[in-house]
């Protein structure tokens, strides 16, 4: 049994990670400032004596005794990280410095949830970990993109200078139950629009691509990375299956049975045209590869949003 800190633990991915760690018999401290996380997500864990919920912002230092730290604390969708870009930068820079300082003091292993956004609008396809990226440092997405890049820099410098035991994973598009309806991600947007009978909004011509990893597959990769000795990363965690936005929209319409139409809007600034991970390193070092096909993973995701939409309609009544 380990004592494990999960920052951002009440968020979408964090909740699934906390559940997995509890199932393995660990003590879990879930730390969240509830900017995008939700108490409702972790409500089922509160009766577990091995689970502790703390309201805290990692921009402020904290003293804890833990064996492992999963740092997931940062808004991860454009709607949320652009809502307060300076706060996003602080979370990525000051926050990771506080977590690294904690890891250094208590000799804990720390895993940083980085992102495929460090590759920007990539000129290399698919993206390998050796690719340095094509990122606009002054664009509307740079508070997140560059913030995550600086966080990786700090992870490596704390490791080289102070011997901190680090792990870096670069997370590609992830979906599944417990996603927020208003997070602005393409899966939640399409599903909620379809369930509400609204037109599905596709930006650009819909031929830009993304790769979608089901959340349980991602959590499996993160846990394997944390418990892998002798490998710091970074390592890509994502599903190499590549789909256009048009293909995703058609799948959502078919699975929801919606009669909604597809409408096209201008592409946001610096929106990547293609995104697909090369997961050769994850296969080699972690023995990991995703197992959930998009078609199957969308089913429980849609059921989650059916409940969310139904609940919101009841509240309005």
Q: Evaluate if residue 194 carries a pLDDT over 60.
A: yes
- CB count, 10 Å around CB of 255? 15
> Do 311 and 226 fall into the same domain?
no
| pLDDT score for 231 | 97
> Do 234 and 246 fall into the same domain?
no
What pLDDT, in 10s, does the model give residues 91-142? 999 999 999 999 999 999 999 999 999 999 889 989 999 999 999 999 998 9
Q: Evaluate if residue 269 carries a pLDDT over 80.
A: no
The answer to whether 81 is a known catalytic residue is no
* Structural domain that includes position 247: 186-207+242-272+296-316
**Range 149-178 average pLDDT:** 97
- Check 70, 81, 119, 144 and give the catalytic one: 144
3-state secondary structure the chain: CCEEEEECCCCHHHHHHHHHHHHCCCEEEEEECCCCCCHHHHHHHCCCCCEEEEECCCCCCCCCCCCEEEECCCCCCHHHHCCCHHHHHHHHHHHHHHHHHHHHHHCCEEEEEEEHHHHECCCCCCECCCCCCECCCCCCCHHHHHHHHHHHHHHHHHHHHHCCCEEEEEECCEECCCCCCCCCCHHHHHHHHHHCCCCEEEECCCCCEEECEEHHHHHHHHHHHHCCCCCCCCEEECCCCEEEHHHHHHHHHHHHCCCCCEEEECCCCCCCCCCCECCHHHHHHHCCCCCCCHHHHHHHHHHHHHHHHHHHHHHHC
| pLDDT score for 78 | 76
Which has more confidence, 154 or 35? 154
Q: CA–CA separation, 193 vs 309, rounded Å?
A: 10
> Do 201 and 223 fall into the same domain?
no
> Do 172 and 311 fall into the same domain?
no
Give the number of domains in the chain: 2
> Do 248 and 173 fall into the same domain?
no
Tell me the residue length of the chain: 317
> Do 153 and 280 fall into the same domain?
yes
pLDDT band per the 50, 70, 90 thresholds, residue 290: very high
Among left, alpha and beta (phi > 0; psi -120 to 50; other), residue 287 is left
With a CB cutoff of 8 Å and minimum separation 6, the contacts of 105 are 63
pLDDT band per the 50, 70, 90 thresholds, residue 271: confident
> Do 224 and 82 fall into the same domain?
yes
pLDDT band per the 50, 70, 90 thresholds, residue 316: low
pLDDT band per the 50, 70, 90 thresholds, residue 311: confident
What's the token pair of residue 205?
């011509």
| pLDDT score for 147 | 95
Closest by CA to 147, choosing from 198, 216, 71, is 71
CA 270 to chain CA centroid, Å, is 19
**Range 73-88 average pLDDT:** 84
> Do 254 and 107 fall into the same domain?
no
Any idea what the CATH number is for the domain that residue 301 is in? 3.90.25.10
Mean pLDDT, all residues of the chain: 93
> Do 57 and 72 fall into the same domain?
yes
**Range 2-13 average pLDDT:** 97
pLDDT band per the 50, 70, 90 thresholds, residue 246: very high
> Do 52 and 196 fall into the same domain?
no
Report the percent of the chain where pLDDT is more than 90: 82
Q: Evaluate if residue 195 carries a pLDDT over 90.
A: yes
| pLDDT score for 65 | 97
Q: Evaluate if residue 219 carries a pLDDT over 90.
A: yes
| pLDDT score for 315 | 62
Which has more confidence, 22 or 312? 22
Report the percent of the chain where pLDDT is more than 70: 98
**28 to 74, 149, 157, 171: CA distances (angstroms):** 19, 27, 27, 22
pLDDT band per the 50, 70, 90 thresholds, residue 270: low
pLDDT band per the 50, 70, 90 thresholds, residue 146: very high
**Range 249-272 average pLDDT:** 89
What torsion do the CA atoms of 26, 31, 37, 43 make, to the nearest 10 degrees? 50
| pLDDT score for 171 | 97
**Range 134-157 average pLDDT:** 94
Q: Evaluate if residue 196 carries a pLDDT over 90.
A: yes
Closest by CA to 120, choosing from 7, 276, 270, 227, is 270
> Do 123 and 228 fall into the same domain?
yes
Which pTM value belongs to this model?
A: 0.93
Any idea what the CATH number is for the domain that residue 47 is in? 3.40.50.720
> Do 10 and 80 fall into the same domain?
yes
């Amino acid at each position: 049994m380990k004592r494990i800190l999960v920052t951002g633990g009440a968020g979408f991915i964090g909740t699934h990670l906390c559940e997995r760690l509890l199932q393995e018999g660990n003590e879990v401290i879930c730390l969240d400032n509830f900017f995008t996380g939700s108490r409702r997500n972790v409500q089922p864990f509160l009766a577990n004596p091995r689970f502790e919920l703390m309201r805290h912002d990692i921009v402020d230092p904290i003293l804890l005794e833990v064996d492992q730290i999963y740092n997931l604390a940062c808004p991860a969708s454009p709607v949320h990280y652009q809502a307060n870009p300076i706060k996003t930068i602080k979370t990525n820079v000051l926050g990771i410095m506080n977590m690294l300082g904690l890891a250094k003091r208590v000799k804990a292993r720390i895993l940083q949830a980085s992102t495929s956004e460090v590759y920007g609008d990539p000129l290399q396809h698919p993206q390998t970990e050796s690719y340095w990226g094509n990122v606009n440092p002054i664009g509307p997405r740079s508070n997140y993109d560059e913030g995550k890049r600086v966080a990786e820099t700090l992870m490596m410098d704390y490791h080289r200078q102070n011997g901190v035991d680090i792990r870096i994973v670069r997370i590609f598009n992830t979906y599944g139950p417990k996603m927020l309806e208003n997070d602005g991600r393409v899966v939640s947007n399409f599903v909620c629009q379809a369930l509400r009978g609204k037109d599905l909004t596709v930006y650009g011509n819909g031929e830009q691509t993304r790769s979608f990893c089901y959340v349980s597959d991602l959590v499996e990769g993160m846990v394997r990375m944390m418990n892998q000795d002798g490998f710091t990363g970074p390592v890509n965690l994502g599903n190499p299956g590549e789909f256009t936005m048009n293909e995703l929209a058609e799948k959502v319409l078919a699975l929801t049975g919606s009669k909604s139409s597809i409408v096209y809007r201008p592409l946001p600034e610096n929106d990547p045209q293609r995104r697909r991970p090369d997961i050769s390193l994850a296969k080699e070092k972690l023995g990991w590869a995703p197992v959930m096909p998009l078609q199957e993973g969308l089913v429980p995701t849609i059921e989650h949003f059916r409940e969310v939409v139904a609940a919101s309609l009841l509240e309005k009544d």
